[in-house]
């Protein structure tokens, strides 16, 4: 007699009823939060206040209050813009690609990843407007009917397409995130006791009644939006990369940037998802829903993407040498691998290309403390990558007389702290008022979980 063993671990630990799943996932909405939640919320408000003051100084004094100079005209603002855009790819790549590929293990994580996308893209969208110096003139870069006569947008500019891509990305991601919560809004409406809460959640549910017609349309629109947004994941960061690749600056003028930026964005997004999932799993006691198998799956993805990142780094170094271009060789070998920014460069290599390879060991993947530390290192490493790309190519260009070092001012640091505060503040509100796990989707995989455990 043969022994039948499941191919995969169960998606949910324990034989849970549908009612039990609803109670355990929606418990944070029903009860008052602990002191740690208020502490983090207050910290995020303080951080946003710092960012607000820094924005005020920027608007009143101008971007001369930053550490920019004639050589390094892009600094922390563009570095953090690209970094936040990369973080924003997490939810879309995580939810949509895995949805199209019919990966059911995503059901416990996709909701929080999509929420992270919205807040990260909003943070990213702030930087191009602030970088203009006069933020009240940002409407000039939006394509809309106007009476300004012969004054038209420069459709050849990658910066214009940044605006189009980011605004489309926010709209598509928010729509996908909101429509996915319709069944859960209707469920919460039946649980809350306050009339005001019932009205709010009932309005948000758009009349959802869980009929077969509702479910058919829900699944159809999910795949349609997923297919459309999948193209956005590739196009948005490709367009961002064109801001660099269309120039003639050494280290930027390369055709590898579009795929390099897209893969890097997905890499940083997945690592941020891993960081937040581990925290959320511990804080809300969701070990039965966000299991070690989910974390193991994400770490396996990070191994694959880390190999691509390492290959891209080696390709850049090889092509700069093979081209025989003295300016490219100087940028990569004299100003990155060695020189003023060598520490940041080798930390980038260590965090992005070497440390994730520890996940080849199952023992390493099972150590959540180590996984958490490596996910944080990847987030730092991807920020260092953007710093290396932006600063090293600008600080030492073709003319040695133009060379200048770059140090961010406290205003630039304050704006970044403010965006971090907004990101954490948004996540705190999300954890308080919305289900952190897609209840309806988790219930859809509960039958398979029960069958595996019975075996």
Tell me the per-residue pLDDT of 269-287, one tens digit each, with 9 for 90 and over: 888 888 888 888 888 888 8
177: Cα separation from own chain's centroid: 14
pLDDT digits over 234-276, tens only? 788 788 888 888 888 888 888 888 888 888 888 888 888 888 8
DSSP tag of 435 = -
> Stretch 43-62: mean pLDDT, rounded?
92
Answer whether 437's CB lies under 8 Å from 27's CB.
no
> Stretch 44-73: mean pLDDT, rounded?
89
Note whether residue 6 is domain-resident. Answer: no
Measured CA to CA, the distance from residue 320 to residue 341 in angstroms comes to 17
Residue with tokens 């993947």: 365
- CATH number, domain of 234, equals 1.20.1630.10
155: Cα separation from own chain's centroid: 27
Residue with tokens 């960081």: 275
pTM of this structure: 0.86
Measured CA to CA, the distance from residue 138 to residue 32 in angstroms comes to 41
Q: Which pLDDT does position 143 carry in this prediction?
A: 66
5 pLDDT higher than 50: no
Measured CA to CA, the distance from residue 304 to residue 33 in angstroms comes to 38
Note whether residue 390 is domain-resident. Answer: yes
User: What domain count does the chain have?
Assistant: 1
208 pLDDT higher than 90: no
DSSP tag of 404 = -
Measured CA to CA, the distance from residue 88 to residue 233 in angstroms comes to 9
Note whether residue 243 is domain-resident. Answer: yes
Own/partner contacts of 427-433, CB < 8 Å, gap of 24 or more, are: 427/115, 427/116, 427/119, 427/276, 428/37, 428/40, 428/41, 428/44, 430/112, 430/115, 431/28, 431/37, 431/280, 431/284, 432/28, 432/29, 432/33, 432/37, 433/29
Measured CA to CA, the distance from residue 434 to residue 423 in angstroms comes to 16
Residue 353: give the domain boundaries: 18-144+151-454
pLDDT digits over 162-174, tens only? 777 788 888 888 8
Residue with tokens 């209050």: 65
pLDDT digits over 396-410, tens only? 878 888 888 888 899
Q: What is the DSSP string of 48-76?
A: HHHHHHHHHHHHHH-GGGSS--SS----H
246-273 b/e (C-beta count within 10 Å ≥ 16 → b):
eeeebbbbbeebbebbbbbbbbbbbbbb
Q: Which pLDDT does position 3 carry in this prediction?
A: 41
pLDDT band (50, 70, 90) for residue 2: very low
Measured CA to CA, the distance from residue 186 to residue 178 in angstroms comes to 13
pLDDT band (50, 70, 90) for residue 7: low
What separation in angstroms does the CA of 308 have from each of 56, 252, 304, 375? 41, 19, 7, 17
Q: Which pLDDT does position 148 carry in this prediction?
A: 61
Measured CA to CA, the distance from residue 321 to residue 314 in angstroms comes to 11
The winner for highest mean pLDDT among 136-150, 288-302, 345-359 is: 345-359
Note whether residue 217 is domain-resident. Answer: yes
Q: Which pLDDT does position 358 carry in this prediction?
A: 92
8 pLDDT higher than 80: no
> Stretch 126-140: mean pLDDT, rounded?
79
Note whether residue 60 is domain-resident. Answer: yes
429: Cα separation from own chain's centroid: 18
> Which residue has better confidence, 107 or 422?
422
> Which residue has better confidence, 286 or 447?
286
100 pLDDT higher than 80: no
Note whether residue 11 is domain-resident. Answer: no
Residue with tokens 């075996």: 455
Note whether residue 8 is domain-resident. Answer: no
What separation in angstroms does the CA of 29 have from each of 21, 177, 183, 200, 443? 14, 18, 16, 14, 18
Q: What is the DSSP string of 298-367?
A: HHHHHHHHHHHHHHHHHHHHHHHHHH--HHHHIIIIITTSSSTTHHHHHHHHIIIIIGGGGGGSHHHHH-
What separation in angstroms does the CA of 156 have from each of 149, 152, 160, 161, 169? 19, 11, 8, 9, 20
pLDDT band (50, 70, 90) for residue 447: low
pLDDT band (50, 70, 90) for residue 310: very high
Note whether residue 9 is domain-resident. Answer: no
């Amino acid at each position: 007699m043969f022994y039948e063993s499941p191919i995969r671990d169960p998606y949910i630990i324990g034989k849970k009823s549908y009612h039990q799943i609803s109670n355990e996932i929606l418990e944070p909405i029903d009860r008052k939060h602990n002191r740690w939640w208020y502490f983090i919320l207050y910290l995020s408000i303080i951080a946003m206040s710092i960012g607000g003051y820094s924005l005020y100084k920027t608007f009143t004094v101008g971007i001369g209050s930053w550490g920019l100079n004639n050589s390094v005209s892009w600094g922390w603002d563009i570095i953090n813009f690209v970094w936040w855009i990369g973080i924003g790819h997490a939810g879309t790549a995580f939810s949509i690609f895995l949805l199209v590929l019919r990966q059911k293990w995503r059901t416990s994580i996709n909701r929080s990843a999509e929420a992270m996308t919205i807040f990260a893209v909003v943070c990213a969208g702030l930087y191009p407007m602030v970088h203009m110096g006069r933020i009240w003139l940002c409407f000039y870069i939006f394509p809309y009917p106007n009476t300004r006569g012969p004054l038209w947008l420069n459709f050849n500019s990658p910066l214009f397409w940044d605006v189009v891509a980011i605004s489309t990305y926010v709209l598509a991601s928010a729509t996908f995130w909101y429509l996915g919560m319709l069944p859960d809004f209707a469920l919460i409406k039946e649980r809350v006791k306050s009339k005001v809460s019932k009205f709010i959640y009932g309005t948000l549910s758009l009349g959802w009644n869980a009929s077969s017609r509702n479910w058919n349309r829900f699944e159809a629109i999910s795949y349609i939006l997923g297919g459309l947004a999948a193209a956005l994941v590739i196009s948005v960061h490709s367009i961002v990369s064109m801001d660099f690749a269309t120039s003639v600056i050494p280290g930027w003028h390369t055709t590898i940037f579009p795929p390099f930026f897209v893969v890097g964005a997905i890499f940083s997004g997945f690592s941020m998802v891993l960081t937040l999932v581990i925290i959320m799993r511990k804080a809300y006691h969701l070990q039965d829903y966000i299991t070690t198998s989910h974390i193991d799956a994400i770490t396996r993805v990070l191994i694959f993407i880390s190999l691509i990142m390492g290959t891209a780094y080696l390709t850049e170094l090889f092509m700069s040498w093979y081209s025989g271009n003295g300016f490219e060789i100087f940028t990569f070998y004299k100003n990155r691998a060695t020189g003023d920014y060598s520490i940041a460069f080798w930390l980038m290599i260590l965090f992005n290309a070497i440390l994730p390879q520890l996940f080849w060991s199952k023992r390493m993947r099972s150590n959540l403390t180590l996984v958490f530390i490596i996910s944080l290192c990847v987030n730092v490493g991807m920020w260092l990558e953007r710093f290396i790309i932006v600063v090293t190519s600008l600080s030492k260009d073709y003319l040695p007389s133009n060379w200048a070092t770059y140090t961010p001012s406290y205003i630039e640091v304050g704006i970044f702290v403010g965006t971090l505060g907004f990101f954490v503040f948004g996540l705190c509100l999300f954890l308080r008022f919305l289900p952190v796990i897609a209840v309806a989707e988790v219930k859809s995989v509960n039958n398979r979980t029960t069958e595996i455990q019975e075996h």
